Structure 1
């Protein structure tokens, strides 16, 4: 501004200059305003800070041009509400540290460096993407105290935010799979359980361990193993429900946290889907790899209240799943602690079992599906433990694989089976199972050759049963092994066909003589609503086209046998003809000259019932009885111990550990009742059955018990405590002693 010249205090027309001090002040004020404006422009242009202002409704009245440039050209900015232009992302670190911007604006409070993301700056809810700002704002009021709007500044913190997020992820996420790491999963589980204990909510924890992963590392190398882990993590992310968190704890161990889930039916279904998906083949650097997984499941608050308690329960369940044969899931139960100790003892004793003669081979016949004449026997290993009695191969074979004893056991089995089969008629074959671990051993051809030479058994009478899991790892090594075995003259059978790894490429590449149809397709194949017959037909047709024979495994009922024979399967194995029997029984049968087996079994397939002999609780009205559980199926049970129970009576079976199942008496004779269940039981992953839900520890705590995981034993129905007991309606019988007593 120029100096002010006035006609003041002198002659008209004389120029009078403003006093120097006044002129200096005026001149200074004008220059400050310009300088402030230039400084304002410079800050905006340099991106050091931008500025914004709103009116009293929250609509923008000003935003630095460079900041406006961050929005699309066709989007109006001035005049829009600030809250519609930026957003606080729920679940982001910034959202956890600060209140939402809309709350701050409505509260008309001062805020500093509030992190927000430009709305619409990305197409998804990925909190790692987009443009991030830090907003600072101060409310403006007039002299009457009326709110006039906000004035503030904004800084672009995108680079800083991403750097901070990357640093945070490095500390909490696995660099290989991008899943949460052990530290984050532990912290997350602790947070969830602490909050849910107050809110009386449940949370399931799944622990996964990959089966045969070590073989991939050993045959294809560690880079291939890393790629396999990445693919496994991607499959888990596809199948695990929203709201769950998946973590890799290290190595080949994974963990899944499932909030608000305690339905063991749904959890079992999820576990089976995971097992099936993980078991599908992988393509890695041009090679084909096949692995499996075992899963342990525990649920809070039933199996644990504290994080370490729940993790330990899940570990025990996983340990049991692996010990039960792998490729399966297992729910935690109180008896698993004892089972884990038994497994360690079995592992130690297995080393001495061969030397002490505790192992022996039994043989199950494979008969012609139509004539029922025996064509061969499958050799099955049996172990009669001096302390534990008969131990199933399903139990000790996985232990042998884990303890590197499988090669020794496999070599003994081949020698013994060949020696026994050499004493049979010339036309009868013997089949011996070869584990995947044995198959990759370079010594296998020599072991087979030595067994044949020592026994004198012709190679054409020995059949090696191999599962599809051998088709993993090094394709060339697998093909070479098949060539070496075929060169010996032995026959090869593909065992358990159709159970998860099946691929026509196996049959095209491998020189199999026979396909064994898994028993899961045989069960109930004669039922109208069962699709297994169509699957069996397809397998038989495929085998015929490739000049392979077929054996149907696990036939137990007459209707199943008729169906299998009608579908043109060549051979049949199953209890309907014979269980596996010792060599002495085989020789007795063969020496009699009667090479035909008569089928003996139920007329029709029925749902498997687990024969039991244990005490259970029976609740009727407000009275608790004790009865003997004789057998159990998904839909019903047979109990003994109560008399005078009318048909139609509703009872509650207390199966222990908080498992209550409502049933209705359908048959009642003397002291025996047959019950049908209101809600079917579900698989416990171990071949047994369990209830979907259990008595909640929260309900028991509300009734006066301490809040803790469910201990072993039986429980009254919550709400009955403190009520006056009525006279028992039924007489309770001691079925062992034969005495009667009132309940």
Structure 2
């Protein structure tokens, strides 16, 4: 009996074979990446989708095979062929999900799966229950089985190779699916070609079995839907897994970064104090067991604050990064370089003799002194290095760091850009500083701080405008100490905040006395330290002090340095805006020594610029300073700010500053800082100075 083929159904069967192959390749990737119960669910679902796809391809291909008699299919045998397809798919997916697929296992798997696919096909043919039975061409029959085994082996190998995510994996899977689908279709149609049906044959399942014509469309639709759902689920799961993977990766990286930052400096990436403690413990233990020496070098940069103030913090950060890189160069042979402060570094290095530590320190000094390029500027710094050697100068971290720090301070006091070994006499100096800090803690309660007031006059001849409050420490042992002798220690210890609040309160109290004495037009200027300026309660403190002493806000001028105002411009503008809204006047102190952006400067609600005394000192001899002063005055005029010059000591300076356009003057020529009790009657002093 001569068969014919429906080409449309043939194309449909090929499409289903390709789609089923692609689904199998995609699901193999999901099974490999899944774990536990999820892997079993993906295997079961994948076997159902893949098996149904292969079986549907076979069934549609059978529908494409048309005979001039009515055909039907035995439901039990047809269902059994579907079960074989599902089991064969489960076997294949399980095989490719294994960690390894050696050639021996691949060949056995190909034989097993090829036999299962062949069984499914010929069982499906048997479901027709043809009478007489179907005859098969032995050669084509054998060829179909060979094709089934070869196609199964190729499918297993391709699925194993493409089961993991890789570049262009979807394009590769699509190409592989075309090959696999074509191979499956080739096996099917080769088997169909091997079949020979005698004339006069009848289909035994035509009356009692499944009607092929009614089942073709539902099977095609259901199969396509199942495959589509499987693919969509796989894609959505893969995207969820990728997002989860990215989130896990991001959290892992963040955790690693947090762990790193807990032990390292954020800017230089060098070890911080926490990691230095661990390194110290290890090197002390190793040196103790081996009877070896190691040196501790305490390094403090000279002139770093000036660079920060003059060129900005970005330039300062660039400088620190370069210095950190130079300290860590391999040729120095240093075990540990740690950053323990703003411009302070600690070096741990094993040495045979103390002299070796001295040679290393000299090499580091040379390296640090090399200029650093930052923002088109060549920045120059030097360093002061203190050296302590284990076990000669101490056998513990605390002792060695303390002694190296004392030696470093000695290097600074000796002129900087030098290195010094620790000597026992240096402990006295370090102890003296600690004693001074302790004395400072008690000074407020003991009323040892006093204010002196330097008068401020309108240029050139008055009247007296008010005064600037200047702090002094009347120490019970050392006598009157100027700010240079203790302000640095107060800032390092944090005591500057409490001292600053006392200064503000005392200055306003004294101004209230002067107002009550008949000078309501006088004003008072108070300097704010950088730490005090950043305090959250600054505005509240100022407002309370003004209210306590009934001082009009415009009579109080708060002076901040240019570098403080430029440190964090946005935050500075917020704080200064609040003070300006309160009515307090703002003065930019030491103007010209910092690193100001005119764009930011014009936004600051300041009312006064103070020309630094460094420009006034050599005014008569240095035309460059004269040009700078004239430029500052012109800038102040442009920004509608009063310009005050401090440090006026000669008549020539007063004359030049007056002619340049300064609004107010202060300095030793007009009046040195004096106690409040001596302040009244400053007009007579001014007349004497003019004479």
Name the TM-score, length of structure 2 as normaliser: 0.46
Considering fraction of residues, name the structure with more helix: 2
Considering fraction of residues, name the structure with more strand: 1
Name the TM-score, length of structure 1 as normaliser: 0.43
Indicate the structure (1 or 2) with the bigger Cα radius of gyration. Answer: 2
**Higher RCO (Cα < 8 Å, 6 or more apart):** 2
